[in-house]
């Protein structure tokens, strides 16, 4: 412990960084040649023309979670307060108001409408009702939470939407019973069923997500809560689209609507199988939509941090010989291929399996807006052809039609 006013000299960190074992691994690391990426990136610029299409409405969805300590006499007891918020923005009205500035705050607020769904999930050392363990408590409360959430009064519950996606889950891979001391395999079914052992303990349809398998009974469960939040966010999007589908007249809303999701169009971790289920459901809904409005669903996942964002920043930074200019011009889209990603962003020499095949239901791309802002985003795979990570495949989809959307 330092004395008051005493600061670390960082010598211990320098000693670790310069240690023989650390330097040995560093010397063995594969290093990217600095000039490789930019040259190849020029070949990935999408051959699409900026359009004059602008959305009338933007639906933005984002989740958040906050750990909450619980005073129940047990050490480290915690809950997680999970919220998924949706905001519908009338950008058409905002553009009209913008032409007559100044705008009264009360009038400006009429262009937005917000809603949210929330729940509290048990964590370490929290047992509810008569459940035997914190893990069992988490499973039960998570199931009950999505069972009772109905975003639209005339629509499905989140559970009904999730169970529609559950029907797509591959059945080849067996999953063990959620109860550690049970020898039987779990059989994913809708609603609540009983384990086939003598105790007849509850199985929940949400156990198929396998989030509970990472549950830490004696420590923090940030990863578990994050996985639960990403499931809520993505199931909410599908729930909204299935609500639209209930009345084909609502399809026309999608002609001028953009759905923006925080993060890439993917599902990571234990519930990754949900990604491909969502892909198949979006494909099915999109086919129905096209029959009515002859246009694709537009969903954009916005990535704010991580390897893709870091790479784009380096790639577009002015370098020697560019006269201080960035590499990409405004309204330029860069479509990332599997080979490029594996070589420059997520290194791998095994290219027989496409990047993100098991986790992504959309393709990553870079885009520079007319104002020069950099956007790292993804668009959904709405057809089988679009699943091919090549330049031509995505150029036939929504990117080519609406690439100049700036929200």
Tokens of residue 376, six digits: 């790292």
**Using CB atoms within 10 A of its CB, is residue 63 exposed (0-12), middle (13-18) or buried (19+)?**
buried
Is the separation of the CB atoms in 164 and 148 below 8 Å? no
User: Element (H or E) spanning 324, and its range?
Assistant: none
The closest alpha carbon to 72, from 124, 145, 141, belongs to 124
Using only the alpha carbons of the chain, give its radius of gyration: 24
How many residues are recorded in the chain?
407
Helix (H) or strand (E) holding 58: strand 57-69
Question: How many distinct helices (H) and strands (E) make up the chain?
Answer: 13, 12
Cβ-proximal residues to 407 (8 Å cutoff; 6+ apart), any chain: 55, 58, 91, 258, 260
Q: What is the pLDDT of residue 170?
A: 85
What one-character DSSP code corresponds to residue 360?
B
Tens digit of each residue's pLDDT, the chain (407 residues): 556 665 555 456 566 667 777 676 767 676 766 554 556 777 688 877 777 888 999 999 999 999 999 999 999 999 999 999 999 999 999 999 988 888 888 888 889 999 899 999 999 999 999 999 999 999 999 999 999 999 999 999 999 999 999 999 987 678 899 988 888 898 889 999 999 888 888 999 999 999 999 999 999 999 999 999 999 999 999 999 999 999 988 999 999 999 999 999 999 999 999 999 999 999 999 999 999 998 899 999 999 999 999 999 988 887 644 556 788 888 889 988 888 888 888 887 776 678 888 999 999 999 998 889 999 999 999 988 888 776 544 444 445 444 444 44
Compute the Cα dihedral for 266, 272, 278, 283 and give only its sign. positive
Tokens matching residue 333:
């889209």
The secondary structure of 296-320 as a DSSP string is ---EEEEE-SSHHHHHHHHHTS--T
Q: Which of 358, 362, 376, 338 is nearest to 283 (CA)?
A: 362
């Amino acid at each position: 412990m330092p004395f008051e006013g005493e600061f670390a000299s960082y010598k211990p960190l320098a000693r670790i960084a310069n240690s023989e074992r650390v330097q040995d691994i560093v010397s063995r690391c594969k290093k990217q040649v600095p000039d490789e990426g930019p040259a190849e990136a020029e070949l990935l610029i999408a051959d699409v023309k900026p359009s004059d299409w602008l959305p009338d409405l933007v639906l933005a969805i984002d989740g958040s979670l906050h750990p909450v300590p619980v005073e129940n006499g047990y050490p480290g007891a915690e809950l997680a307060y999970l919220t998924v918020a949706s905001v519908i923005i009338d950008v058409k009205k905002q553009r009209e108001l913008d032409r007559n500035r100044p705008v009264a705050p009360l009038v400006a607020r009429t262009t937005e409408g917000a809603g949210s769904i929330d729940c509290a999930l048990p964590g370490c050392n929290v047992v509810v009702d008569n459940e035997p363990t914190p893990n069992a408590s988490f499973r039960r409360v998570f199931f009950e939470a999505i069972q009772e959430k109905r975003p639209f009064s005339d629509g499905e519950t989140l559970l009904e939407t999730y169970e529609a996606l559950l029907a797509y889950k591959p059945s080849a891979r067996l999953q063990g019973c959620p109860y550690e001391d049970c020898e039987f395999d779990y059989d994913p079914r809708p609603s609540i069923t009983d384990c086939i052992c003598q105790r007849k303990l509850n199985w929940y349809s949400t156990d198929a997500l396998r989030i509970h398998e990472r549950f830490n009974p004696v420590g923090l469960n940030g990863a578990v809560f994050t996985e639960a939040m990403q499931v809520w966010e993505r199931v909410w999007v599908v729930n909204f689209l299935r609500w639209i589908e209930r009345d084909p007249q609502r399809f026309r809303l999608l002609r001028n609507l953009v759905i923006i999701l925080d993060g890439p169009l993917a599902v990571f971790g234990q519930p990754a199988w949900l990604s491909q289920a969502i892909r198949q459901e979006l494909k099915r809904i999109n086919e129905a939509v096209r029959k009515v409005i002859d246009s694709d669903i537009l969903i954009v996942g916005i990535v704010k941090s991580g390897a893709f964002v870091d790479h784009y920043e380096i790639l577009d930074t002015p370098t020697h010989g560019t006269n201080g200019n960035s590499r990409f011009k405004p309204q330029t889209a860069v479509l990332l291929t599997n080979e490029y990603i594996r070589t420059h962003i997520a290194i791998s020499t095994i290219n027989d399996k496409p990047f993100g095949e098991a986790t992504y239901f959309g393709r990553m791309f870079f885009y520079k807006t007319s104002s020069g802002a950099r956007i790292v985003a993804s668009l959904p795979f709405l057809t089988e052809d679009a699943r091919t990570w090549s330049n031509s495949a995505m150029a036939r989809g929504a990117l080519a039609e609406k690439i100049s959307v700036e929200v």
